[in-house]
Structure 1
């Protein structure tokens, strides 16, 4: 298990502003849409894809494994001959979850690495800083690892961007419905980061009938400050307000800090509920261990914690996608830590979907053809997910539902009821209903061939 250390930022606000401004200018100067016949990043033998994510900084724990998982799956595909004879090369840049760096790394991927498309990029506020420019250029921006609904519900605004997660609104509506029905007699509060991720989740909970009072049942913090602040004032606020069920809408490192801080101040909520992107048990346990908490103790702390998922639990050894992806991860992952968890599963699944889409487009691979394919046939793509993609010309939202679970003593997410029930809804005011989707079987060779 790697020990994670938090390092204070060496960047000053004024300097970052200058860097961001210069990088935006560089992007604008070269912002000429490519013609279909000369799309960068595609040759007869290769497809170059680009990705941005925090490989360093306070938001990086857990998420810094996604790129290695994606590359491992692409290496597996390449070992089988690639996609229509083309090998896939994934170029990755570390933006440290800082918007100024996201702008400069996007410029590098576009202008120096000459990527054909962006795939699986991580972060809401960071992606906001580049999404307009990427779309203006006509570059496909697919399977984005952000559940912010504002990226996807209006394709006219961002025509080339497609989600890689269910939206935070959809997840919060489903999770909120469960919490309201199960713990309606308890005082429910929330800790969330004050960006579009956190606000999107709060909006979903409000649609489900869960509303929070600022500075009482709603505690907030600025993303990236959780390590330095320790979230003491936030957790003390919720404790003083008598909150019995605490929801966390934040990155995994903040979830770990919140749970650890609550224990230190003697605050023991009856139940924790964490939005899925911040709920990976392996990541949280690793962070707690780095803070001196033994694994047996952290497992006990996580037992009963509620979360949701659009996919099978990473610890579900009976699932055929989990089994196949674990084998590929063991054989092809060259990253510094390939310990199997939900982040690795998500990376593998995003790469699987990317491969399926590339096969589906066919040999005449262009940026416009890929976007058109996802809009017209993307909803037919299958993967490890237990719900379908919602792609169409009207919306670029990804997974349309979630199931609700709780961690058991071995930190495996298990259904809250006897059987797993998957629910579906939209990012608006639509009802939460039971999904009837039946996931197609995985190909024997774990290679999708396109819808």
Structure 2
């Protein structure tokens, strides 16, 4: 997120502020922003569970500070609270919300008829091919799997199926005599060969169990759809010390029916 802000003139010129969930989630995000050199003019926070009440104090604090861009790290219910509260006090900054807090199905349910208008032009990074890209063979088959199981097609079911798909490949590669050590060794030696809907590399090695290593940037349109707006991805191997870098990534070809 910091890389995209710094390298997008229309965003880099804005007065940036940070709103986050207290604890490891928001704390780790703060470390990442600091490592990237992004300094915030103002900050506000909330305690997990407190989002059942309006974020009046936090939103007014950010508005009073003149925040023009707000980076938000919180859960979807908190995102809905923030957007709804901001609308009531006519606070309309550019929003950039973490992938955790921007699941559209949940936000639509919480915000109701106003969801599309409130989410319009909101930035959010993601590491998987967009759920709406049905032309992608991974998305097409995973959507069919979800619907075949009677599950709602959203980012969470998509992410779960994708994770299970990678796990199945790892289990197959580990062989019939499965052991914890054998599975870890396979992950550390063959993770780059595992196929998935990810749009960034998968890192699982002896010196790092990071997993997915970056994001592309997306933005919601007036119809509530998240569209990818970067043809590149932003990669980083350490949120605390490493700088993000611009890169390209090509998915491995999807096998028929995604059979591992």
Aligned to 1:189, what secondary structure does the other structure show?
strand
* Residue 182 of structure 2 corresponds to residue 369 of structure 1: yes
The aligned residue for residue 124 of structure 2 is 307
| Distance in structure 2 (CA, Å) of the matches to 1:436 and 1:304 | 24
Aligned to 1:192, what secondary structure does the other structure show?
strand
Q: Map of 1:48-87 to 2, 5 A cutoff?
A: none
Q: Map of 1:1-150 to 2, 5 A cutoff?
A: none
- The alpha carbon displacement at 1:378 in A equals 2.2
The aligned residue for residue 62 of structure 2 is 238
The aligned residue for residue 76 of structure 2 is 252
Aligned to 1:272, what secondary structure does the other structure show?
strand
8 Å CA contact 1:187, 1:242 repeated in 2: yes
Q: 1:431 aligns with which of 230, 243, 252?
A: 243
Q: Map of 1:90-239 to 2, 5 A cutoff?
A: 175-182=1-8, 183-212=11-40, 217-227=42-52, 229-239=53-63
The aligned residue for residue 281 of structure 1 is 104
8 Å CA contact 2:130, 2:228 repeated in 1: no
8 Å CA contact 1:380, 1:389 repeated in 2: no
Once the two structures are superposed, residues 71-109 of structure 1 have per-residue CA deviations (whole angstroms, 9 ceiling, x without a partner) of xxxxxxxxxxxxxxxxxxxxxxxxxxxxxxxxxxxxxxx
Aligned to 2:212, what secondary structure does the other structure show?
coil
Task: Tell me the C-alpha RMSD between the 2 structures.
Answer: 1.5
| Total equivalences in the alignment | 257
TM-score, length of structure 1 as denominator length: 0.55
8 Å CA contact 2:20, 2:45 repeated in 1: yes
Aligned to 2:216, what secondary structure does the other structure show?
strand
- The alpha carbon displacement at 1:433 in A equals 2.4
| Distance in structure 1 (CA, Å) of the matches to 2:89 and 2:249 | 44
| Distance in structure 1 (CA, Å) of the matches to 2:227 and 2:232 | 11
Q: Map of 1:337-348 to 2, 5 A cutoff?
A: 338-348=151-161
8 Å CA contact 2:55, 2:81 repeated in 1: yes
Aligned to 1:199, what secondary structure does the other structure show?
helix
Q: Structure 1: which 4+ aligned runs deviate by more than 3 Å?
A: 428-431
8 Å CA contact 2:15, 2:66 repeated in 1: yes
8 Å CA contact 2:216, 2:233 repeated in 1: yes
TM-score, length of structure 2 as denominator length: 0.94
| Distance in structure 1 (CA, Å) of the matches to 2:242 and 2:89 | 40
| Distance in structure 1 (CA, Å) of the matches to 2:226 and 2:190 | 31
| Distance in structure 1 (CA, Å) of the matches to 2:251 and 2:25 | 28
8 Å CA contact 2:79, 2:101 repeated in 1: yes
The aligned residue for residue 407 of structure 1 is 220
8 Å CA contact 2:71, 2:97 repeated in 1: yes
- The alpha carbon displacement at 1:414 in A equals 1.4
8 Å CA contact 1:235, 1:261 repeated in 2: yes
* Residue 138 of structure 2 corresponds to residue 321 of structure 1: yes
8 Å CA contact 1:315, 1:341 repeated in 2: no
Aligned to 1:391, what secondary structure does the other structure show?
strand
- The alpha carbon displacement at 1:416 in A equals 2.5
* Residue 222 of structure 2 corresponds to residue 394 of structure 1: no
- The alpha carbon displacement at 1:380 in A equals 2.5
- The alpha carbon displacement at 1:317 in A equals 1.9
The aligned residue for residue 152 of structure 1 is none
| Distance in structure 1 (CA, Å) of the matches to 2:246 and 2:39 | 24
The aligned residue for residue 124 of structure 1 is none
Unpaired stretches in structure 2, ≥5 consecutive residues: none
Structure showing greater radius of gyration is 1
| Distance in structure 1 (CA, Å) of the matches to 2:228 and 2:73 | 20
The aligned residue for residue 168 of structure 2 is 355
- The alpha carbon displacement at 1:276 in A equals 0.6
Q: Of Structure 1 and Structure 2, which has the larger fraction of its residues in strand?
A: 2
